[in-house]
Structure 1
């Protein structure tokens, strides 16, 4: 069984997501974007009234994609910054990093969940921004590691069932390895699970498909070119097998799971994490890929599993990115305040302790 270090403190900052949410009441440890700005030491102050400006020109923007900054703190060690995905484009990630004043020179690893441009599109811009920050601050920062699945596609496209399987568009190119290295990265490829961030963050390998209702991405196609054939062609690719999730174990809380698009199915993701670590799940974060008419039938069994069949059930589910409105409504109906309307600009602080771990152990094994 793989091992990861249990962390005493986990801080998550959402740098890219489809949604912006400023006003909803959030659970303890969750911080909305606006207070992060208004309480910052250099917030602009209005000379007329003497109160801070809500400086809308420099707040986060939403975009169809996902990116989460993961800060892990293990007792006796310096905290580590890992970036999980980089959003869809070169502009949103940089705007939001600047808005939230992220110390990008401290990001030591970028983990790409899978080869889709709404997750890889900001990677080159982020690397260049980091390199410029290192130069300007004279920080002694090693090259940023970019952690990738080795099976980079030539192209991926969209062929909706509603369009009769016709390819209606292709996604932009994912970054090439050479371009990443030219931007200052050190590229690593991993097809199997491995621990990063000093052993505190688990990056999965291939996610086993074990549920009967999670059938992948119906509209997924991939461009392939085979030796001896005059031209390439689009082939169906419902199973996005290069997809990976990330997991962190917080003392006294359990697993925090990041699944930024869940093409494998969030139930498959959760089952694999539990089987891998034999730990309860505290929080599930990311895109659950239940949006659109093609996937609506998966909503009831997915919600039923998360709300009723998981034992112990997760404390929080944060349905983001590609989850879809209908699935969010169903999750809130089933989970109540356990379904958190997270969005870009939010920060979450999860603190654990050895004493809490003892209580969790006793509660887990008494069930």
Structure 2
């Protein structure tokens, strides 16, 4: 199983130049989130030598603009694709997916995307005092589960525990945005140590994790910390 980071941006200056969001590609066929805008997504896909005709489905972790912004033009270029959304995603988002040529797939429960790659089902979180639905990808491997997250609004610890309980397997790794860029350092240490105590061996934080938090995770996880750059891949 191959996971490639297509695009990741979350620093303040990146927001002002339109470089904000997240996107991954799994085995060249499943696009996980679509960055904040299509021109940048398309540029990064070209740089990674990705033929968009090979992409068979799109998973949107949650309906915030920086994860869904590139979807609309992408669907116009690849109509007919299944787009997996949390069931309580905004109705306007679902309607726009359809109007752009996509097929909405609600993920009320666990769904299999391909052998060894599953969707978690919806888990609720909070953002700016309002509820937000999110789901994540689970990859089954010989070492355990690896979870691929968008922003971890429900908290990465809650997500890891949900995966462990739902699949009755230990969580080996965590990849993606951990939404700790505004957290105090002591809170980040608590989070990192809690994940380690859960038995997690590998972390590859990106996007909204924040560079300070990434340093903490590197200290806590040592060789288990993976610094993943754009156009780099992890094999599981």
TM range, smaller chain = 0.7 to 0.9
Any conservation in 1 of the 2:204–2:228 contact (CA below 8 Å)? Answer: yes
1:183 aligns with 2:72: no
Flag the 1:153–1:180 CA change in 2: closer, same or farther, 3 A: closer
Show the counterpart of 1:345: 231
What is the number of equivalent residue pairs in this alignment? 231
Hey, which of these two has a bigger chunk of strand by percent?
A: 2
1:277 maps to which residue? Answer: 167
Question: 1:296–1:192: structure 2 CA closer, same or farther, 3 Å change rule?
Answer: farther
User: Among 193, 196, 201, which residue is 1:304 paired with?
Assistant: 193
Coordinate RMSD, CA, aligned: 2.4
Deviation of the 1:88 alpha carbon: 0.7
Gap change, CA 1:176 and 1:262, over 3 Å in 2:
closer
Which has more helix, going by share of residues?
2
How far apart, CA to CA, are the structure 2 residues paired with 1:277 and 1:112?
A: 21
SS at match of 1:184: coil
Stretches of structure 1 that go unaligned for 5 or more consecutive residues are: 1-9, 20-60, 72-79, 132-142, 155-174, 210-215, 221-235, 351-367
In our comparison, the structure showing a higher alpha carbon Rg is 1
Task: Assess if the C-alpha contact under 8 Å between 2:63 and 2:93 holds in 1.
Answer: no
Cα deviation, 1:305-351, whole Å, max 9, x if unaligned, reads 123x123x32x20010000122111111111121111122112222x
* TM-score (structure 1 length as normaliser): 0.58
**Corresponding position of 1:330:** 216
* Separation in structure 2 between the aligned mates of residue 297 and residue 333 of structure 1, nearest angstrom: 13
| Residue in structure 1 matching 2:118, options 196, 202, 206 | 202
Report whether the alignment pairs 1:104 with 2:52: yes
- TM superposition shift of 1:191: 2.6
Q: Which runs of 5+ in 2 are unaligned?
A: 11-16
Question: Match of 1:318?
Answer: 204
Q: Which has the higher contact order (CA 8 A, sep 6+)?
A: 1
